[in-house]
């Protein structure tokens, strides 16, 4: 097409068009929305053509209904995958035109290309969203003469300024409706001219405009006056002054000089069906920063400008209210702000408007004044609080609703149809059901899994994931869900429907909004990107997966910790193998390349673990060693692991030693010898604490080695066996703390291995000759006869007399001997009177297993250790049925249930009742005080204390 190069002449020609009467708009424009009724009254339109796909024609009646409260949205989804979303607010000119037509009895026609037309995707798939042209977003390639750049320079001149806002919106207060219309047509003509001069208009826009011309021509065939409410960018293409070779031969185009439409003689193809709906919407989704491409900044402020109706005084009042609300939000957040700051901000906004020749301050002037006065030059701290206050005040969270009687549509019916097709519980069968899915082997299960993940992201409350354990260290490939169609599900679906009318759209909208909000709160963190990437993949959203992969490529190599890097590697491996649905060949290649980079970054991050005292880091170190073995990176890690084993914190030293053994950089013999050396040097409280941490780091990755490698376990067995009782009890709390890293089931397995190695049974093998054994037996018999002849106790009688201290009764009239003073009891003394702790009993104590097989004088140590460390976590940590049956047995025997918990910490219970009946429950020893056990007897439950 060709246009006059004189801007004034071009705008005059566009404004003077009668067939059709042109209203060039931006699809969210408070200035034009307020002026549309007066402009349509002035032109006397009998037919109003609005830029909407023809598929939405049946919804216009409900859109204009008095009970419909904006914001609302028209949405469509085609069988060809085409998706469209068209939000409306009170300040949308098209909605104002539809409402005017209803009040005046005029006809409204949707004149845009139907969504089912294949030309929408002829040049490749388009992103879902509003396909109406937003002239503020049009950025043409630089041309020889750029009218758009000239208009932008005439405003504030700042980079990134909203061209439409500076040329139309801020100039509208105090202007006539016709002046606003001409300004809007001028902006559209400038952008169109720049596009024509720098490469031409896209083919899709030309096809849409040809369809618009045909629809407008047919609407005016009987002489009715037609008004076209279309994007300002398209307005120059809808007049009857068009270049012949550009559009005269296009079907539906106006034939120059006739005013009629060229007939469409092409065979009419069968287009796929389109499902349309009218759903409520929200201001926070209408904001352009939410991801909506044709959105507008600060919808709540735009609503206030629309209500002002172009009156400068009312716009100034709206600005004063907005500034006051910002001050209120700042004060609520704990920042100082008051009437002085509010008055100064309003004064500055008004001054900026006057300097720029504006009748009232616009959005830009208000934001500048607030930033200068309230922000005080702080990008963080107060500046971040100001940004949150501006989001509340200028963006808002207003919600729309559809009129009563409107046909039900949107996300709810779509979900009901999908759950019925997938044979899941729905409105007709709401009973709860537990399903186990195998999405990698069954296409039906795959579609079920994707739907359940999408509904979970939307917060529909339909399905609850049940944990499934994998085999060994692998992750489970099947999933379990507990699904039910509860009464709250339809309500939650209506709420989630504001973000999309299909489960895919709603899930994508929810994930985008969640990511945007969390990014605004604390910046894009590695954990946030990783969670968003996994959710997008599980919901089968390839476009969103590509975006989050791009974020991960920038963020992870530079700032991720080792656990985060390994978590990302697990997720990327699942993407590369196709275990998650939201992948394409391109994303799988990108994931594979990123995985290589992250593995390199993980190896480089090893020196940074030297001072770590977090179990998560040590577990990640061992996991990295396993991955490095698969990728043959052991030699590259040799120096770093050797340095960590020498100079790292005790926890890291143990994990580094385990990693070196796993990578075959050290032999298992070194592990056993090093562990035995740690036990030997644990002679002080600090050394024993270091022993506990080293064992915790070591066992986090090398527990299996102790069970399978004799060379690793034998030195440890020897060292535990050769310690004296005093030396063993000195180290017992530290040893138990280190082995507490293992799960209860893991300690059971290790104890089984130890008892097999030690031989927990009498050694019945006889190596002496029968003759020598006979001599020994005769000597034993002679010794026993001699002891009995002297009247001395023998056998069990001797043990009982020694332990009870019993003596012969005194003669009648004699004074009984005075009881000797009881010496201070130590841990070693409590065992001095009994047999020495066997190696197996020692292992039972330090592993906290099979305590019922311990001798009576050692059980209180096991009890105290259980009080200190608990029963353990992970596999095998649940109490057995026998333990759960104890309260029932006590009750059946007529005894009250015990007040003491089976495991776990206790606190002091205050004494009550008569002094003779008082009973105190002692608190367990702290970990720091555990090293003092050798010098004092550990507390025994049920001991009677003097209060």
pLDDT of 914 above 60: no
Residue 278 clears pLDDT 50, i.e. is over it: yes
pLDDT for position 634: 61
- Mean pLDDT score, 365-389: 85
Q: Mean pLDDT over residues 179-192, rounded?
A: 90
What is the pLDDT averaged over residues 873-881?
A: 61
Confidence (pLDDT) at 832: 46
CB 168 within 8 A of CB 29: yes
Choose between 806 and 838: higher pLDDT: 838
Distance of CA 86 to the CA centre of its chain: 28
If you average pLDDT over residues 276-301, what whole number do you get?
A: 80
Query: Please, what's the b/e burial string for 588-605 (b: 16 or more CB within 10 A of its CB; e: otherwise)?
Result: eebbeebbeebbebbbeb
User: In degrees, to the nearest 5, what angle opens at C-alpha 526 toward C-alphas 524 and 530?
Assistant: 105
With beta carbons less than 8 A apart as the criterion, state whether 816 and 810 touch: yes
Question: Could you tell me which residues come within 8 angstroms of residue 103 by beta carbon, excluding any fewer than 6 positions away?
Answer: none
pLDDT the model gives residue 552: 92
Which three-class secondary structure string do you get for 571-618? HHHHHHCCCCCCCCHHHHHHHHHHHHHHHHHHHHCHHHHCCCCCHHHH
pLDDT digits (tens, 9 = 90+) for 688-699: 999 999 888 888
The H or E element spanning position 311 is none
pLDDT given for residue 608 in this prediction: 86
Between 149 and 345, where is the model more confident? Answer: 345
Mean pLDDT of 95-108: 94
According to the model, what pLDDT value does residue 901 have? 39
**3-state secondary structure (DSSP) of residue 278:** strand
Contact 333, 380 (CB under 8 A): no
Backbone phi and psi for residue 863, each to the nearest 5 degrees, phi listed first:
-65, -45
Whether the predicted pLDDT of 309 surpasses 70: yes
700-756 pLDDT, tens digit each:
777 777 777 777 788 888 888 888 888 888 889 999 888 888 888 888 888 888 888
pLDDT at position 292 is 63
Q: Which residues contact 382 (CB under 8 A, 6 or more apart)?
A: 335, 374, 375, 376
Q: What local confidence, expressed as pLDDT, does residue 46 receive?
A: 93
Residue 307: band (very low, low, confident or very high) from pLDDT cuts 50, 70, 90 = very high
What's the mean pLDDT when you consider all of the chain?
A: 78
User: Is the N-terminal amide bond of 20 cis, ω within 30° of 0?
Assistant: yes
Please, what is the end-to-end C-alpha distance for the chain in angstroms? 103
pLDDT tens digits, one per residue of 21-30: 999 999 889 9
pLDDT digits (tens, 9 = 90+) for 216-270: 999 988 889 999 999 999 999 888 554 433 333 333 333 333 333 333 434 444 5
Q: pLDDT by residue (tens digit) across 448-481?
A: 999 999 999 998 889 999 888 655 555 677 899 9
CA-wise closest residue to 534 among 644, 456, 437, 649? 456
pLDDT tens for each residue of 162-178: 788 888 888 999 999 99
**Poorest-confidence range of 296-300, 301-305, 377-381?**
377-381
Please report the pLDDT score of residue 532 as a whole number: 92
Confidence of residue 78 (pLDDT cuts 50, 70, 90): low
Structure tokens at 87: 């939000």
Most confident range, picked from 38-52, 466-480, 643-657: 38-52
Rounded mean pLDDT, 49-72 = 92
Q: Is 71 exposed, middle or buried (0-12, 13-18, 19+ CB in 10 A)?
A: buried
Average confidence (pLDDT) over 396-415? 87
Closest CA to 56 of 122, 131, 127: 131
Above 70 in pLDDT, residue 308? yes
pTM of the complete model: 0.64
DSSP H helices in 709-855: 710-722, 725-739, 744-758, 770-789, 796-804, 827-832, 839-847
For Cα atoms 631, 635, 636, give the angle at the middle one, nearest 5 degrees: 80
Residue 793: predicted pLDDT: 75
> What are the structure tokens assigned to 403, written together?
């009129």
Name which residue leads in pLDDT, 289 or 580.
Answer: 580
pLDDT of residue 942: 38
CB atoms within 10 A of CB 387: 13
CA distance linking residue 274 with residue 54, whole number of Å: 11
- Contacts within 8 Å (CB) and 24+ apart, 6-10: 7/147, 7/186, 7/189, 7/190, 10/186, 10/189, 10/193, 10/236
Whether residue 598 contacts residue 572, with contact meaning beta carbons closer than 8 Å, is answered with yes
Crossing angle of helices 668-680 and 685-708, in 10° steps, is 150
Q: How far is the C-alpha of 436 from the C-alpha of 445, rounded, in Å? A: 9
78's CB contacts (< 8 A; 6+ apart) are: 115, 116, 272, 273, 274, 275
pLDDT at 673: 87
Tell me the mean pLDDT in the region 430-445.
90
């Amino acid at each position: 097409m060709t246009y006059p190069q004189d801007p004034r002449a071009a705008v005059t020609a566009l404004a003077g068009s009668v067939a059709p009467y042109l209203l060039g708009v931006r699809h969210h424009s408070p200035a034009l929305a307020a002026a549309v009724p007066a402009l349509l009254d002035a032109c006397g339109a009998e037919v109003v053509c609005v830029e909407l796909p023809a598929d939405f024609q049946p919804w216009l009646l409900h859109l204009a209904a008095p009970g419909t409260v904006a914001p609302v949205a028209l949405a469509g989804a085609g069988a060809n995958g085409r998706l469209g979303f068209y939000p409306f607010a009170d300040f949308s000119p098209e909605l104002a035109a539809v409402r005017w037509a209803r009040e005046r009895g005029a006809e409204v026609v949707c004149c845009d290309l139907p969504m089912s037309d294949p030309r929408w995707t002829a040049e490749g798939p388009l992103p879902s969203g509003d396909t109406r042209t937003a002239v503020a977003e049009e950025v043409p390639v630089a041309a020889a003469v750029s009218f758009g750049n000239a208009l932008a320079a005439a405003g504030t001149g700042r980079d990134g300024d909203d061209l439409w806002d500076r040329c139309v919106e801020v100039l509208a207060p105090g202007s006539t409706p016709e002046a606003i219309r001409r300004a809007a047509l001028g902006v559209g003509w400038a952008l169109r001219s720049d596009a024509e001069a720098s490469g031409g208009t896209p083919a899709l826009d030309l096809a849409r405009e040809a369809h618009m011309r045909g629809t407008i021509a047919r609407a005016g065939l009987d002489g009715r006056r037609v008004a076209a409410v279309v994007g300002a960018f398209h307005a120059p293409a809808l007049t009857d002054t068009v270049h012949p070779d550009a559009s005269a031969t296009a079907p539906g185009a106006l034939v120059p000089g006739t005013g009629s439409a060229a007939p469409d003689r092409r065979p009419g193809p069968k287009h796929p069906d389109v499902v349309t709906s009218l759903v409520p919407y929200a201001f926070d989704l209408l904001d352009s920063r939410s991801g909506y491409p044709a959105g507008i900044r600060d919808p709540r402020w735009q609503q206030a400008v629309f209500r002002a109706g172009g009156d400068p005084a009312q716009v100034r009042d709206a600005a004063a209210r907005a500034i006051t609300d910002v001050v209120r939000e700042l004060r609520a957040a704990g920042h100082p702000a008051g009437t002085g700051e509010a008055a100064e901000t309003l004064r500055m906004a008004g001054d900026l408007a006057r300097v720029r020749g504006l009748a009232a301050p616009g959005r830009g002037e208000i934001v500048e004044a607030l930033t200068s006065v309230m922000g005080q030059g702080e990008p963080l701290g107060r500046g971040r609080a100001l940004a949150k206050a501006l989001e509340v005040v200028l963006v808002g969270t207003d919600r729309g609703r559809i009129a009563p009687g409107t046909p039900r549509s949107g996300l709810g019916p779509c979900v009901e149809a999908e759950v019925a097709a997938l044979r899941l519980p729905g409105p007709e069968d709401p009973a709860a059901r537990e399903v186990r899915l195998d999405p990698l082997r069954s296409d039906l299960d795959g579609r079920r899994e994707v739907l359940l993940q999408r509904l979970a992201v939307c917060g529909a409350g339909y399905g609850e994931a049940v944990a499934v354990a994998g085999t060994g260290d692998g992750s489970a490939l099947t999933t379990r869900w507990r699904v039910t169609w509860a009464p709250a599900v339809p309500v939650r679906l209506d709420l989630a429907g504001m973000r999309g009318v299909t489960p895919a759209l709603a899930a994508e909208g929810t994930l985008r909004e969640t990511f945007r909000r969390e990014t605004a709160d604390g910046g894009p963190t590695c954990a946030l990107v990783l969670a968003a990437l996994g959710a997008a993949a599980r919901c089968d959203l390839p476009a969103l997966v590509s975006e989050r992969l791009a974020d991960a490529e920038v963020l992870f190599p530079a700032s991720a910790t080792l656990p985060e890097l390994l978590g990302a590697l697990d997720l990327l491996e699942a993407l590369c193998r196709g275990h998650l649905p939201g992948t394409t060949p391109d994303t799988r290649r990108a994931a594979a390349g990123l995985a290589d980079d992250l593995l390199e970054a993980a190896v480089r991050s090893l020196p940074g673990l030297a001072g770590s005292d977090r179990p998560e880091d040590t577990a990640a170190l061992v996991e990295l060693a396993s991955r490095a073995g698969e990728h043959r990176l052991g030699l590259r890690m040799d120096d770093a692991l050797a340095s960590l084993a020498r100079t790292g914190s005790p926890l890291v030293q143990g994990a580094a030693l385990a990693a070196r053994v796993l990578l075959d950089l050290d032999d298992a013999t070194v592990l056993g010898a090093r562990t035995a050396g740690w036990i030997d040097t644990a002679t002080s409280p600090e050394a024993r604490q270091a022993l506990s941490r080293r064992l915790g780091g070591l066992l986090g990755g090398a527990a299996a080695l102790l069970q399978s490698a004799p060379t690793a376990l034998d030195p440890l067995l020897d060292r535990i066996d050769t310690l004296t009782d005093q030396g063993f009890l000195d180290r017992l709390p530290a040893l138990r703390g280190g082995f507490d890293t293992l799960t209860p089931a893991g300690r059971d397995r290790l104890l089984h291995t130890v008892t097999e190695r030690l031989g927990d049974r009498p050694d019945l093998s006889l190596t002496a000759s029968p003759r020598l054994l006979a001599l020994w037996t005769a000597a034993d018999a002679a010794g026993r006869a001699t002891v009995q002849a002297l009247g001395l106790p023998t056998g069990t009688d001797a043990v009982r007399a020694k332990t009870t201290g019993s003596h012969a009764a005194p003669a009648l009239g004699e004074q009984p001997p005075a009881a000797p003073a009881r010496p201070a009891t130590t841990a070693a003394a409590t065992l001095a009177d009994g047999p020495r702790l066997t190696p197996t009993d020692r292992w039972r104590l330090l592993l906290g297993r099979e305590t019922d097989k311990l001798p009576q004088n050692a059980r209180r140590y096991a009890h105290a250790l259980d009080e200190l460390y608990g029963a353990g976590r992970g596999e095998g940590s649940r109490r057995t049925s026998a333990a759960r049956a104890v309260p029932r047995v006590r009750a059946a025997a007529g005894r009250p249930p015990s007040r003491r918990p089976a495991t776990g910490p206790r606190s002091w219970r205050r004494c009550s009742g008569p002094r003779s009946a008082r009973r105190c429950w002692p608190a367990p020893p702290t970990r720091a005080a555990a090293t003092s056990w050798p010098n004092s007897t550990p507390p025994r439950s049920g001991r009677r204390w003097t209060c």
